[in-house]
Chains A and B, each alone.
Chain A
Amino acid sequence: MKLTRRNFLAWAGLGAVGAVACEGFGIRKGELDIQSSVRQPEDLVRGTDNWYASLCRTCPSCEGIVIRVMEGRAKMVQGNPYYPTNQGKIHARCEAGLQALYHPDRIASPMRRSGPRGSGEFLPINWQPNGMDTLKSALQANGSSSVMITEPLRGHMAVLADKFAAAIGGERLGFEAIDNNTYRAAVKNVFQQDSLPDLDLENSKFILSFGADFLSTWVSPTRFSRGYGEFRQGEGRDRGMFYQIDSRFSMTAANADKWLPIRPGWEGHLALSLAQVIVSEGLQASGVDVDSLVGGSAGIQTLNTFRPEIVAPLAGLTSEMTGGDPVEFLKNLARGFAANQPSIAIGGGSAGAQSNGLFNLEAIYALNFLVGTAGKKGGVRFNPPSPWADVPSSTSVGSLDDWIRITEQIRSGQTKLLLLHGVDPVHGLPDSLQLRDAIAQSGDLMVVSFSPFLDDTSVMADLILPDRVSMEDWGDDISEPGPGYQVVGMQQPVVNPLFDLDPLSFPDVLLTMAQELGKESALPWASFKAMLREGSDALFNLNRGSIEASSADEFWNNMLRRGGWWDELHNGPTSVKPADGLLRTIANKAESPEFNGIGMGADSLYLVPFAHNTLLDGYNGHLPWLQSAPDPLSTVTWQTWAEISDSTADRLGVKEGDILRIESSKDSIRAVAYPSPAAPPNTISVPFGQGRKHGSDYATDRPGNESANVMDILETTTVDGTGSLAWAGTRVRVTKTGESVSISKLEGNVRSVEIGLLPGEEIIKTIAPDNA
């Protein structure tokens, strides 16, 4: 090529462009620098965090969470701001889910019993062949006489467990020590609804609650606390009025405008008394067909037997409690409840845990019809059925009658295989049922536990096949109670198990067994994830709801990313017609509460047990954060304490820290005395949840720990109509043991001192206006 001026310029230009381009393709200076810090950082956080949406499994309300994961390890749990029920808020229980993941007492691998049953002696074995083959042989031999006891299951896990139990010819029962069967039955009888309703506290102006500690432990406390916050401080509204009628001064009672310490078991009578005032004074909401609701003149006559004049003394109301005439107090309460619309009546907890608990709750919830808020804004909001036709929207849990039957089946040898997952019925049932003895003495019985932790029941197992914990496994949930519309939550594994652990997913084990036993037709899924994915595809095909996607794959990913699927347009019924003569029907069921055992003598007290704020019924007893989380009122941690009134303490001559012996006709326990001016004089309150005998040190009753299980002394009285344990239906005698310990509580341990009085305190200074 001839070198012309034109060619020279062309080549020079091309060269310049090439040089610039080549430089552009290179790495910028400084990008390859890697800097040594001067000091060795001890707490430097390296890596990038990822946040995964999932579900919390530390309590049955199953809140939506997001989990921070750094370099393969879960670090923190926060609320999922999108999840409809908790909307970014979480209970302290959720945060402690991390401790289940990293717990030092997790069972590392399958184990078989090597000593006498219940001795806690186990030898590690492999999943294959020992663990799975042993399970398969047991299912082949005794599947038809098996009982599977699980935690209350919802979503696809419930379907899988039920199908599996049916396929092997066995039975599955959900277990909850403090079950909601009576509440569920009341909702069914009063509102004809199969799933639990939402409580629209945020839009209510008057809350009337009987026994339900809904801000702390009852049903879905995070969702209710969120609503309560709006109820008190919501924008553009007045601060609502809130009455708590409860035989214990709970955290919910402490938040009420007025707490009425009713005599245990008379809540239903008091509710009907309020109904009587509303009806007799014509205070019902407009449009309410009182005649139909009450049941005509016969109903009015029946209702008149619940006049405040009659009920106030029965319910133990005194002028000291009510600040005046109790009868006038009840009348004014009824007027206030009817006048401040919308208002809502709630019942649960100890109100439903009496022999007449079903009557109590039915009477309470029927009040919502009188004020016209059943299904309406600010009242009881009903939930729609499940978006999947074959997946139930509510859980089913066995009653005490069921557990008495199962115990007898074990004792008689009729049940030969017991499969346990996520439950500790030996700890969670009254000791007088003697389930522990039945299991221990049944020679033909084989017990298989899928628990990742040892507890009072899994220690009785012949074979332990440890399940993954929730952060390592798949799952889903249909929120119960939902927020008034369809909600499906998704749980996804966010980490792999630690290297020295070898758990296998419980649902995957069931599916493997189903295939090996030739039950694929009933359980055709290759894995639980595949089953969930099928459910996801079904939701995608509905073509509605919160997740937008152009393909089933995209839908699945988006749903996992968001933590679930919901459809705000698919609501529950907004109008429910009460049965004719509902109030009369309920009133005709009225009974006095029944207290078996030691009787109503003057030396005995009502025992009002309550769910522990963080341990609940003991479900979380092995998690040290939750053991050390102070009770919201007493601030006690770790121990089993007994709340007694100051007057009872004076009578017994006890002071805080003295060890009490609490005795029923069944047994006795020890508890640390916590005298409180807020405890009603005729009651003693003890939390559930402590006093395991086996398993993690954090949960067990060690010497000097004063950890006792109040279940051990409960009478086996059942709730009429549901067969559930009437756990608030026990009377006890209380005596001093003469021993005393230092109670482990925060309250009173730190002096409150006015700022400026301590020497050397110079944090806050005041500048006089003249010098400013």
Chain B
Amino acid sequence: MLPLMVAGGVVTVIMGFVIVVLLISWFSNPPFGLGNAPPQPVAFPHTVHVAENNIQCEFCHRNVTKGAAATVPAVETCLFCHKDIDGGTVTAKAEIEKVRTAFETDTPINWERVHRLPDHVRFIHEAHIRYFTDEDIPVKYGINGEELTQTPDVAQTCTICHGDVANKIVVQPKTGQSLKMGTCVDCHRVNNVPTDCTVCHK
């Protein structure tokens, strides 16, 4: 009886260990569903920039309609406006000052990535924006299989995967939206676009 209990205990411990590892690997990587909002070196509010001042996504994320990576803006891009605009609150002034200092001291800003796909995945923003904004494609579906009744513009296309970033003070993944392989494949299937391995995998 005792050896059986010991064996059962060992199996339980091993299973528990495996489950813990799997859970950690599943949930620890952003944006895998936990809605993590990592701390950023500068508190950049998309609400002020996008929702209030109507700056287009591609003004800062310059490559998003041109290539694979959306890219974050150079510090110099911030200074296009913040050379003169100081911000209305003490907090805002302090954050803007950080950007100015970075520019003056020639120091890059290290942002913390919110959305990340594994290294073996090739994702091209340009192709996806081109697809969703193409008015010649009569029927298109969003990331959860919902039919898009109108052809979205670029900003609306961004929200399909990234959620309503314009109204978020702190950027975090779209609530309840896992950008895992199943999401990609479901969306490709419902939109009748290729699902061959090599379409996404390197």
Chain B contact-residue range equals 35 or more
Contact B103 A47 (CB under 8 A): no
A38 touches B108 (CB 8 A): yes
The A-contacting residues of B in range 74-120, CB under 8 angstroms, are 74-77, 102-103, 106-113, 116
Take A21-B21, A22-B20, A25-B21 as given contacts and tell me if A36 and B111 are in contact as well, using a CB distance cutoff of 8 Å: yes
Complex: A37 Cα to B112 Cα, angstroms: 14
Binds A, one of B49-57, B62-70, B161-169: B62-70
The distance in angstroms between the C-alpha atoms of A147 and B179, with both chains bound, is 56
- Please, which residues of chain A bring their CB within 8 A of the CB of B106? 38
Whether the pair B111, A26 counts as a contact (CB closer than 8 A) is: no
Known: A33-B113, A36-B109, A37-B75. A71 touches B67 (CB 8 A): yes
User: Complex Cα distance A499/B130, Å?
Assistant: 9
Q: Are B102 and A1 in contact (CB under 8 A)?
A: no
Asked if B74 and A39 sit within 8 Å, CB to CB, the answer is yes
- Which A1-48 residues have a C-beta within 8 angstroms of B? 1, 14, 18, 21-22, 25-27, 32-41, 46-48
Determine if A32 and B74 form an interchain contact, defined as CB atoms under 8 angstroms apart: no
Q: Which of B127-177 contact A (CB under 8 A)?
A: 127, 130
A33 touches B103 (CB 8 A): no
Q: Pick the contact of A47 from B30, B69, B74, B130 — CB < 8 Å?
A: B69
Q: Which of B67, B108, B113 contacts A37 (CB 8 A)?
A: B108
Q: Does B194 interact with chain A (Cβ within 8 Å)?
A: no
Contact across chains for B20 and A18 when beta carbons are under 8 A apart: yes
A72 at the interface (CB under 8 A from B): yes
Contacts of B195 in A (CB 8 A): none
Most chain B CB within a 10 A radius of its CB, from A14, A25, A38: A38
A71 and B127 CA atoms in complex are apart in Å by 9
On whether the beta carbons of A18 and B75 are closer than 8 Å, the reply is no
Q: Give CA–CA (A36, B113) in the complex, Å.
A: 12
B123 to chain A, nearest CB (A): 12
B67, closest chain A residue (CB):
A71
Decide yes or no whether B183 CB sits under 8 A from chain A.
no
Residues of A with C-beta under 8 A to B108:
35-38
Q: How far is the CB of B45 from chain A (nearest CB, A)?
A: 16
Asked if A72 contacts B124 (CB within 8 A), the reply is yes
CB-CB under 8 A from B126, the residues of chain A are 71-72
Quick one: closest B residue to A11, CB to CB? B13
User: What residues of B have a CB within 8 angstroms of the CB of A40 in the complex?
Assistant: 73-74, 76-77
Whether the pair B30, A25 counts as a contact (CB closer than 8 A) is no
Interface pair B102/A32, CB less than 8 Å apart: no
State the Cβ distance, B189 to closest chain A Cβ, in Å. 21
- Whether A34 pairs with B13 at a CB distance below 8 angstroms is no
The reply to whether B20 and A38 form a contact with Cβ atoms under 8 Å apart is no
- Nearest Cβ on chain B to A701's Cβ, whole angstroms: 38
Residue among A25, A38, A41, A499 making CB contact with B25, cutoff 8 Å: A25
Instruction: State A186–B64 Cα separation when bound (angstroms).
Output: 60
Least Cβ–Cβ distance between A32 and chain B, in angstroms: 4
Nearest-neighbour CB distance to chain B for A43, whole angstroms, equals 13
- If A41-B74, A47-B67 touch, whether A34 touches B113 (CB-CB below 8 Å) is yes
Is B73 within 8 A of A36, CB to CB? yes
Chain A residues contacting B69 (CB-CB under 8 Å) are: 46-47
Given contacts A39-B76, A46-B71, contact A34 B112 (CB under 8 A): yes
* Known contacts A32-B116, A36-B108; A18 and B17 CB within 8 A of each other: yes
- Cross-interface CB contact of A22 among B24, B72, B103, B111, cutoff 8 Å: B24
Interface residue from A1, A26, A38, A72 paired with B24 (Cβ < 8 Å): A26
Enumerate chain A residues within 8 angstroms of B73, measured Cβ to Cβ. Answer: 36, 40
**Shortest Cβ gap from B62 to chain A (Å):** 8
Residues in A whose Cβ lies below 8 Å from that of B17? 14, 18, 21
Closest CB of chain B to A46's CB: distance in Å? 5
Specify the chain B residue showing the minimal Cβ separation from A33: B110
State how many angstroms separate the Cβ of B191 from the closest Cβ of chain A: 17
| B24 touching A46, Cβ below 8 Å | no
Complex partner residue of B76 from A14, A33, A38, CB under 8 angstroms: A38
Q: A21 — which chain B residues lie within 8 A by C-beta?
A: 17, 21
- Given the complex of chains A and B, what is the CA–CA distance between A39 and B76 in angstroms? 5
Per the bound structure, the CA–CA distance linking A1 and B30 in Å amounts to: 38
**In the complex, what's the smallest C-beta–C-beta distance from A45 to chain B, in angstroms?**
10
A48 to B29, CA, bound (A): 24
Q: How far is the CB of A523 from chain B (nearest CB, A)?
A: 27
Q: How far is the CA of A25 from the CA of B116 in the complex (A)?
A: 15
A71 and B125 CA atoms in complex are apart in Å by: 10
Q: Which residues from chain A contact B38 at a C-beta distance below 8 Å?
A: 32
Given contacts A33-B112, A38-B74, contact A14 B13 (CB under 8 A): yes
**A36 & B74 in contact (Cβ 8 Å cutoff):** yes
Give every chain B residue within 8 A of A34 (Cβ-Cβ): 72, 110-113
A47 to B127, CA, bound (A): 13
Q: Once the chains are docked, how many angstroms separate the CA of A32 from the CA of B113?
A: 5
Residues of B within 8 A of A22 (CB): 20-21, 24
Q: Report chain A residues within 8 Å CB of B130.
A: 499
Q: Please, which residues of chain B bring their CB within 8 A of the CB of A26?
A: 24-25, 28-29
B residues less than 8 Å from A14 (CB atoms): 13, 17
Nearest residue, chain B, Cβ from A36? B109
Chain A residues in 8 Å Cβ range of B124: 71-72
Interface residues as binary, A35-68 with B (CB distance below 8 Å gives 1, 0 otherwise):
1111111000011100000000000000000000
Task: List the A side residues contacting B77 at CB < 8 Å.
Answer: 40
A48 partner residues in chain B, CB cutoff 8 A? 68
A36 touching B72 in the complex, CB below 8 Å, given contacts A14-B13, A47-B67, A71-B67: yes
* Cα–Cα, bound, A47→B126 (Å): 12
Query: Nearest Cβ distance between residue A151 and chain B, in whole angstroms?
Result: 32
B141 CB, nearest partner CB in chain A, Å: 21
A32 in contact with B112 given A18-B20, A38-B76 (CB within 8 Å): yes
Given contacts A14-B13, A27-B28, A72-B124, A38 and B21 within 8 Å (CB-CB): no
Complex Cα gap A41–B106 (Å): 14
The distance in angstroms between the C-alpha atoms of A41 and B67, with both chains bound, is 15
**Shortest distance in angstroms between A37's beta carbon and chain B's nearest beta carbon?**
5
Known: A32-B38, A33-B113. A25 touches B74 (CB 8 A): no
Give the shortest distance, in Å, between A41 (CB) and chain B (any CB): 7
CA–CA, A32 and B112, complex, Å = 6
A14 to B9, CA, bound (A): 13
Q: Which residues of B contact A1 (CB under 8 A)?
A: 9
Query: Smallest CB–CB gap between B157 and chain A, Å?
Result: 15
Distance in angstroms between the alpha carbons of A21 and B126 in the assembled complex: 37
- Shortest A165–chain B CB gap in Å is 35
Instruction: Report A50 CB to chain B, min CB distance, Å.
Output: 11
Residues of B contacting A47 with CB < 8 Å? 67-69
A36–B44 Cα gap in the complex (Å)? Answer: 13
Within 8 A of A (CB), among B1-48: 9, 13, 17, 20-21, 24-25, 28-30, 38
Q: Which residues of A contact B28 (CB under 8 A)?
A: 25-27
- How far in angstroms is the closest Cβ of chain A from B201? 14
Residues of chain B with a CB closer than 8 A to A499's CB: 130
Interface contact A72-B107, CB-CB below 8 Å:
no
Nearest chain A CB to B44 CB, angstrom units: 11
Tell me the complex Cα distance, A27–B77, Å.
30
Do the beta carbons of B20 and A37 come within 8 Å of each other?
no
**What's the minimum C-beta distance from A18 to chain B, rounded to whole angstroms?**
5
| Docked complex Cα distance between A14 and B21 (Å) | 13
The residue on B at minimum CB distance from A70 is B67
From B63, which residue of chain A is reached at the shortest CB distance? Answer: A46
Given the known inter-chain contacts A27-B29, A38-B102, please indicate yes or no for A46 contacting B112, CB distance below 8 A.
Answer: no
A residues near B112, Cβ cutoff 8 Å: 32-34
Which chain A residues in 428-442 approach chain B with CB under 8 Å? none
**Which of A32, A33, A72 sits near B30, CB closer than 8 Å?**
A32
- The reply to whether A35 and B111 form a contact with Cβ atoms under 8 Å apart is yes
Contact A46 B67 (CB under 8 A): yes
5 A-B Cβ contacts within 8 A?
A18-B17, A21-B21, A35-B108, A36-B111, A37-B108
The chain B residues found within 8 Å of chain A, CB to CB, are 9, 13, 17, 20-21, 24-25, 28-30, 38, 63, 66-69, 71-77, 102-103, 106-113, 116, 124, 126-127, 130
